[in-house]
Amino acid sequence: MKLHRLLALLPFSVVLSACLAIAPAPTATPIPVIPTAVPPSATPVVIVITATPPPTATAKPKVNVPLVMNQTPDRAVAMLTSAGFQAERVEERSPACSGLVSKQEPFTGVEAEVGSVVKIYYCVGPTPTLAPSATPMPTSTPLPSPTATQPPDPCNLQPGQAGAYLTNNSTTRILVTIGGGEWGTHDYWAEPKSLLVMTFPPGRYTTTITMGRTTYKFAADRVDFTAGRCIRITGSWWDYP
């Protein structure tokens, strides 16, 4: 009551000012803050790709291909292998061939990489047989008449006998045919690497020598085989050192 009385005695403006000073100021109502979910930040993934360059091919050295033609296949392979090449054999069928290398690829003089393949061509088949050449008939050599100083002959003749001998130094068996007249014809065989001695009655006889498939005639005509004389039958095909 005392306060009301006191306020009634004061001017209105003073009371109003006092009321305003005493009245509490309005309190601001806080606005609730709703938390917002913040997504976690994405962590970037860095992928590093390193390009690997392809390996660099090392060039092989080149050398000249050797000449292997006219060599045996085994010899040609050895020569090519020694030069650093690989050999490929190619057989060619032929009724008659030498068996030697007849063609090669690549040819000699060409530069090829070491380790590359060289083809060699050669024929396989029977080796051609050369026909025997015609053998000239040996020329008879006149025999000297026996003298007192002539060494003893190998015939070892008995009185009234004639004879002949042949030295066969070859590796072939030789047939000697002597005959004619009343005595007839007789064959004698001279073995390889041996001495053939023939004794017979004196007379005028034809003498032939057969060696393989070839027949030789000793002297152009009949030979007089006289008693006590031993004639040597010579020929370059069998009578040599």
Alpha-carbon span 167 to 234, nearest angstrom:
8
pLDDT score at 84 = 92
Instruction: Please confirm whether the linkage preceding 106 is cis (ω < 30° from 0).
Output: yes
- Domain 62-124: top CATH class: alpha beta
Structure tokens at 120: 């060699």
pLDDT score at 151 = 46
125-167 pLDDT, tens digit per residue, is 655 455 555 566 666 555 544 443 344 568 889 999 999 999 9
pLDDT score at 134 = 57
pLDDT score at 149 = 38
**Structural domain boundaries in the chain:** 62-124, 162-232
Alpha-carbon span 216 to 20, nearest angstrom:
175
Backbone angles phi, psi at 93, to 5 degrees: -75, 135
pTM, 2 dp: 0.38
Residues of the chain with pLDDT under 50: 128, 144-151
DSSP annotation string for 16-84:
HHHHHHHSPPPPPPPPPPPPPPPPPPPPPPP---PPPPPPPPPPPPEEEPPP-TTS-HHHHHHHHHHHT
pLDDT score at 14 = 54
Q: Which amino acid is at 115?
A: G
- Overall fold of domain 162-232: Immunoglobulin-like (2.60.40)
